[in-house]
Structure 1
């Protein structure tokens, strides 16, 4: 005799777990669907007011970057079947956004991210290397885009890569003492808590200010300084090089090494190859760990 039972449907993880945020109100991505030709449509909602992603009457460029990060984290599990226990990491990100899209008053708040994946390489031990392309659309117009190269490692491989730094809890506990901020206005900020640069006695150079209690940048423990902190430092450094407020509209970035909490890290800015471009390099223990060309434009009048 065969006995059948009504099995309960599998439980869907909460969206903040899929986008790898601990707090539900930090999940910018709210939905997604599959389109033809292996393209995914991901919806992000940008809040009109936020303690970190809005600054007076405009969004900071990191809201777009965080939307990309969350979308790819979601799709890594839903499209590529990468377990949530795998550790994701950026290798390169080239992104751009229109300054007008960062206006809080006129932005549509709903942003559609059209994502494709021209390269997905799986290694024998479980690591995955991916390239994803994203077009951002809002109110029927293209407002931004990106190409991201990133990796996903299973816990055993990731822990071997990180060695003594593998534990997020221990890494947080070894973080150096929080350093003093530069004047917020110098870097386009109004709240000292959102400043990630500390003044040092060198022109166009700063120490990276890492506040592990920051409610957005660190809504859960990390084993290394996240890429979002480095990108924010680059945007603030670019703003510090000009006396007038500017919008960061493009990052062309390479993540070279993990950035540790237990050592000071330094940020240097220098003029780039074109008008409005600032080359930012981050070093730790005298080695480059991050480099990016930051493109800025005057805010639309």
Structure 2
């Protein structure tokens, strides 16, 4: 295991590649990343490198109300996902004059962790740095911007991941038009009659608290996602649709459930399933007041591979596809010493 106990703890991280100094003393203002709670802000600084390239600094908590380490002692991969999302929003407001009142509508999202060992929890908070590249796909100022942000993740000076997010940023008027246009028709709403599901035990989906579970089992052996809009992290602020990060949580929880083979346990020397990559295509707005059916593509047999493999899932609501996702899982050794349970 690499020795990362010498991570800087006085608030400054120096990028060896660029010589730029990035502060970790405090988070960026919460409104700059569209978060209501300061505790949900992970970005701490950003610097422009020129040519639409940036360094973005963050600090990940060693423990968190929802994004806590797994039984193997690995940092939650969705902290990386949320850091990508926050980076896009922050760069848009801080460097590209996108008004703070604009709404962001995601279209596709991807992350990949290439060195999971660097995600192990240690004695100090991890201080990741993203090298981000902004691409403006289309601009109709000041009311609409179509954009893509690609990132490379570095922890303790080593590259260990990459990701991207595409979205459009629009004013309230255009958001309202798109929202009405994307709402399900009456026929669509009747195509899928909501079923009462049985909530899956939190431990089976990688969660500690029952209220963090968004997954239900319904008649016929299907799965559906139903997230409580009062959840303080999943719904950090009021919204009229299911956010991308909530969709990703549902896909992640289904993956945790399906990768749980009898051989997987938290004892030292054994293995645990770890989410190493996820890709999500957002096809339509998902409504908050109706369950979302999750349909797994054929051909996935996690138990035969110790929990490792690729899982493809379609999200269907009111008879129409709202998203599709692919998650990739790896079987990783559990450390003898786990930083946080």
**What is the TM-score with the length of structure 1 in the denominator?**
0.85
The answer for the alignment partner of 1:66 in structure 2 is 82
Q: How far apart are the structure 2 equivalents of 1:178 and 1:73? A: 36
Give the unaligned 5+ runs of structure 1.
1-12, 167-175
Q: How far apart are the structure 1 equivalents of 2:200 and 2:162? A: 31
TM-superposition CA deviations, 1:104-155 (whole Å, max 9, x none): 2378610001111233310267211111110111111111111211110111
Equivalent of residue 196 in structure 1, options 206, 209, 214: 214
Distance change >3 Å, CA 125–CA 38, structure 1 → 2: closer
Distance change >3 Å, CA 165–CA 290, structure 1 → 2: closer
How well do the aligned residues superpose, as a CA RMSD in angstroms? 2.5
Q: How far apart are the structure 1 equivalents of 2:281 and 2:248? A: 11
Count of residues in Structure 1 that have an aligned counterpart in Structure 2: 279
Equivalent of residue 268 in structure 1, options 266, 275, 295: 295
My pick for the range that moved more, 156-165 or 291-300, is 156-165
Contact 1:88 1:152 in 2 (8 A): yes
Q: How far apart are the structure 1 equivalents of 2:181 and 2:310? A: 37
The answer for the alignment partner of 1:139 in structure 2 is 156
**What is the TM-score with the length of structure 2 in the denominator?**
0.76
Equivalent of residue 236 in structure 1, options 253, 273, 283: 253
The answer for the alignment partner of 1:23 in structure 2 is 37
The answer for the alignment partner of 1:283 in structure 2 is 316
Distance change >3 Å, CA 107–CA 293, structure 1 → 2: farther
SS of residue matched to 2:207? coil
Give the unaligned 5+ runs of structure 2.
1-26, 184-193, 265-271, 302-307, 335-341
Contact 1:55 1:190 in 2 (8 A): no
Matches within 5 A, 1:1-301: 15-56=29-70, 57-97=73-113, 98-105=115-122, 109-123=126-140, 126-163=143-180, 180-203=198-221, 205-242=222-259, 243=261, 244=264, 245-271=272-298, 276-301=309-334
Distance change >3 Å, CA 277–CA 191, structure 1 → 2: same
Contact 1:237 1:280 in 2 (8 A): no
Distance change >3 Å, CA 177–CA 276, structure 1 → 2: closer
SS of residue matched to 1:76? helix
Shift of 1:14: 6.2
Contact 2:128 2:153 in 1 (8 A): yes
Shift of 1:178: 9.8
